[in-house]
Structure 1
Amino acid sequence: MATMTVIPKKKTKKVPAKGMMDNVMQQFSIAADYIDLHPNIRKILSITNNEIIVNFPVKMDNGEVEIFTGYRVQHNNALGPYKGGLRYHPTVDIDAARALAMWMTWKTSLAGLPYGGGKGGIQLDPSKYSKGELERITRRFTFALADNIGPEHDIPAPDVNTNSQTMAWIADTYMSMRPPAERTANQHVVTGKPEGSGGLEGRDRATGYGVFLNIKFWSEKNNQSIKDKKFIVQGFGNVGFWAAHFLEKEGAKMAAVQDAFGSIENQNGITVEDLFNYSKANNGSIVDFPEAETLDSKHFFATDCDICIPAALGNQITKDNAATIKATLIAEGANGPTNVEGEQILLKRNIAIIPDILCNSGGVVGSYFEWLQNRNGELWQFDEVIAKLDKKMKESFNKVFEYAQREGLDMRTAAYCIAIQRIEKAYIQRGIFP
């Protein structure tokens, strides 16, 4: 039987901030100070609502049992159900989940969605397990977590090293645990499912497409063309690939790529589709791609380019490498890829940053569309989805850009101010339960 620990709200204050949590708290404080956030609401938003840790056993293919630790942090639900991804990665811990959950709260609020923020996952390296083992791990995690998620309470989605297949296993396990009459009504317990299992057409590319759209909107505002611009991508997974795909279609050139295995460069351009096919045939690695040269990973961010897209993990751009970046625009495809010290250096160098809570919000907007589709028993066509995504992303970008221009702020602080003020308004209107 799985063991579960629910850490109550009052205890989270005693956990010292570190890593990504320290980063997101600094970002929050900058915006909260600027808008003079009400002290009581500041206290509420500074901590998480719930933190769930589950330890559960799974039988491996060789018959041995391995114990896994899974996390789900629910930061805030003032605007609606908790929403956020589940990642499978060795770096997953309670601190990372707290930070990512908080970022989701700001992201969903900024996008104007009826959601709060949550995040979680399992601390493991999925490359070390078979597909059958990953299915059993996922289903056992869902069983352990089932009382803490739900289509109107907390709605997970794919994240690093999870995908539509992972979501299908979660949905099937969760629905199997409900009474027969309620099973199909709970299909929207997760988003990012395969199209044949209630998924949304185009959801696979929504995050990367959103990154591309934000780059396009920024370029238009600055009277620039994407055509012939050079870009580099850190992380060639779902987000990095689709962002690169759409940029290439606009005439931009991919000059360098970095993944967990190594880095490559070709200043004449790396064909996105060719690299994608190569990595699929090479166990997901871009290393030794014949149309590019090997690049020292330590110098990846110093590569000559116009646009840099960090689309991997958090805290990648720091004081140690920010001064070497040659790009004039950073488009954050990952969550928290730039820490506060790194950002200060970039801003002093007049390098623009499209912040994560705006830049990669296409994924959660797509998730919202899927959730609505399932909830209402509808079936949306691809063209309709893309048109809705275009409209929603443009509204968000314009809102942030105009606020930043009007107030003389960087785009991250502007985005945070807008997101936090929406939540503050909800608390002021409703009051706080005694």
Structure 2
Amino acid sequence: MKAKTMYDNVMEQFNQVADRIDLNENIRKILAITNNEIIVHFPVKMDNGEVKIFTGYRVQHNNSLGPYKGGLRFHPSIDVDDAKALAMWMTWKTSLAGLPYGGAKGGLQLDPRDHSIEELERITRRFTFALGDSIGPEQDIPAPDVNTNPQTMAWILDTYMQTKPPADRSKNQHVVTGKPTGAGGLEGRDRATGYGVYLTTKLMVESKGEKLDGKTFILQGFGNVGQWASRFLTEDGAKLLSVQDAHATLYNKDGINVDDLADHSKPRKGSIKDFEGAEEIDPSKFFGLECDILIPAALGNQITADNAGDIKAKIVAEGANGPTTNDGEKILLKNGVIIVPDILCNSGGVTASYFEWLQNRSGEIYQLDEVMERLTKKLTQTFRKVEDAAEKNQTDWRTAAYIIAIKRIEEAYVQRGIFP
């Protein structure tokens, strides 16, 4: 039997909620498909003079609430189906957060470790040029995702601006978010997604009448999101017992020092292997470790029917997009595990991106304390909305989040009608 893809999962989730809320059939047809699926192939000269052809994707799911918004990832596994699933999740995420955005996603089929920084710059700039006016500050606004960062966004920004007349270039600064602060980026954008994972996890723990201080957690993925979430959690008294990435699985019953692990992994292109502050254990034992909280912050489809029954954590906080398959989720819910769904848990990034977009549009500069205060307020409001919807509908948190997100889009279509 063929394994379900992320796209299979997102469509199953959508159809279940559409049935539950009796979604207008015509709107259901619209939301079940993507608006645009862009595939580009382009040549780039490598450092050794060889020309390689790269394949890039940008899928735009829906823009009924505003411009398309979503990350660009550089990963060997990205394909159009993955991009479709991720774009649809972005539509639900921006809608749930109450932002004036739709959903998009995209990326390049490559492993950044295989390329020099000079090659990555040329590849990124050529990809941007190939996308052309498919992206734009009021059309589709990319942001960092897996294996991309502020530097990637700076290259996209500069390339896009060079395609515009000199007098119009400054008007296009908000074509991407997640930029370096020197290029118009937002103070605090680097930690926003991880902070959102931390805050929603903390709020979930507190909603059960408990405290984060003294709780234990395990983390899959030690990229930007995982590192920042871990920092905030450990600063608040939680203990990091285990970290897993593609290269190793670490464990220390006394706790892993986040800063030490970050210092270790940085020169190794993100790999946590050979870290001396923890022992390496069998990767297959990771999900079954005793802990209070599990944070999958790597790739999709990690928690499945095969390993969900092993999970001892009582809270799964989805730092990644689509880390839990529907079959895996059924097992978790049956076992009494509470899932903080990705479209709530990791929405700190797109919320901060909205602040950056506004900052560029108005020519203002927000200070870090102001950004974090706004972010905390917005994420807490969204958390409370989902909490109320879960209680009102007597359902799990993902279903509750989807109900809010899809109803907001349905309302927009009902009010505006269908062109022409």
1:346 and 1:158, CA in 2 relative to 1: closer, same or farther beyond 3 A? same
TM-score scaled by structure 2?
0.99
Q: Is residue 169 from structure 1 mapped to residue 155 from structure 2 by the alignment?
A: yes
Match of 1:385 in 2: 371
Match of 1:69 in 2: 55
Deviation at 1:215, TM superposition (A): 0.7
Match of 1:282 in 2: 268
Name the amino acid aligned to 2:33. I
Please tell me whether the aligned partners of residues 230 and 307 of structure 1 are also in contact (alpha carbons under 8 angstroms): yes
Deviation at 1:303, TM superposition (A): 1.2
1:352 to 338, 350, 353: 338
Match of 2:199 in 1: 213
2:412 to 405, 420, 426: 426
Counterpart secondary structure, 1:167: helix
Segments of 5+ residues of structure 2 without an aligned counterpart are: none
Name the amino acid aligned to 2:97. A
Please tell me whether the aligned partners of residues 87 and 104 of structure 2 are also in contact (alpha carbons under 8 angstroms): yes
Deviation at 1:262, TM superposition (A): 1.2
Match of 1:50 in 2: 36
After superposition, residues 226-375 of structure 1 pair within 5 angstroms as: 226-375=212-361
Counterpart secondary structure, 1:192: coil
For the residues of structure 1 that align with 2:251 and 2:3, how far apart are their CA atoms?
37
For the residues of structure 1 that align with 2:320 and 2:331, how far apart are their CA atoms?
19
Counterpart secondary structure, 1:80: coil
After superposition, residues 92-171 of structure 1 pair within 5 angstroms as: 92-171=78-157
Deviation at 1:283, TM superposition (A): 3.2
Name the amino acid aligned to 1:53. I
Deviation at 1:360, TM superposition (A): 0.1
Deviation at 1:295, TM superposition (A): 1.4
Match of 1:193 in 2: 179
Deviation at 1:282, TM superposition (A): 3.0
Counterpart secondary structure, 2:69: strand
Match of 2:395 in 1: 409
Pick which of 421-430 and 277-286 moved more.
277-286
Pick which of 259-268 and 388-397 moved more.
259-268
Please tell me whether the aligned partners of residues 234 and 257 of structure 1 are also in contact (alpha carbons under 8 angstroms): yes
Counterpart secondary structure, 1:261: coil
Match of 1:41 in 2: 27
> What percent identity do the matched residue pairs reach?
68
Q: Is residue 182 from structure 1 mapped to residue 201 from structure 2 by the alignment?
A: no
Match of 1:22 in 2: 8
For the residues of structure 2 that align with 1:65 and 1:288, how far apart are their CA atoms?
36
Please tell me whether the aligned partners of residues 18 and 95 of structure 1 are also in contact (alpha carbons under 8 angstroms): no
Counterpart secondary structure, 1:67: strand
Q: Cα deviations across residues 379-409 of structure 1 (Å, max 9, x unaligned)?
A: 0000000000000000000000111011100
Please tell me whether the aligned partners of residues 113 and 269 of structure 2 are also in contact (alpha carbons under 8 angstroms): no
Segments of 5+ residues of structure 1 without an aligned counterpart are: 1-15
Q: Cα deviations across residues 141-167 of structure 1 (Å, max 9, x unaligned)?
A: 000002200000000000000000000
Counterpart secondary structure, 2:407: helix
TM-score scaled by structure 1?
0.96
Name the amino acid aligned to 2:176. V
For the residues of structure 1 that align with 2:267 and 2:167, how far apart are their CA atoms?
43
Name the amino acid aligned to 2:297. A
For the residues of structure 1 that align with 2:105 and 2:372, how far apart are their CA atoms?
26
1:172 and 1:58, CA in 2 relative to 1: closer, same or farther beyond 3 A? same
For the residues of structure 1 that align with 2:58 and 2:4, how far apart are their CA atoms?
18
For the residues of structure 2 that align with 1:281 and 1:47, how far apart are their CA atoms?
42
Counterpart secondary structure, 1:384: helix
For the residues of structure 1 that align with 2:298 and 2:333, how far apart are their CA atoms?
22
For the residues of structure 2 that align with 1:73 and 1:383, how far apart are their CA atoms?
34
Name the amino acid aligned to 2:326. V
Deviation at 1:18, TM superposition (A): 5.2
For the residues of structure 1 that align with 2:268 and 2:343, how far apart are their CA atoms?
32
Pick which of 31-40 and 75-84 moved more.
31-40
For the residues of structure 1 that align with 2:409 and 2:126, how far apart are their CA atoms?
34
For the residues of structure 2 that align with 1:390 and 1:18, how far apart are their CA atoms?
35
Name the amino acid aligned to 1:170. I
Aligned-residue RMSD, C-alpha: 1.0
Deviation at 1:17, TM superposition (A): 11
For the residues of structure 2 that align with 1:318 and 1:386, how far apart are their CA atoms?
34
Counterpart secondary structure, 1:301: coil
For the residues of structure 1 that align with 2:339 and 2:273, how far apart are their CA atoms?
28
What is the total number of aligned residue pairs between the two structures?
Answer: 419
Pick which of 57-66 and 28-37 moved more.
28-37
Please tell me whether the aligned partners of residues 95 and 408 of structure 2 are also in contact (alpha carbons under 8 angstroms): yes
Counterpart secondary structure, 1:341: helix
Deviation at 1:267, TM superposition (A): 1.3
Counterpart secondary structure, 2:287: helix
Match of 1:8 in 2: none
Deviation at 1:179, TM superposition (A): 0.7
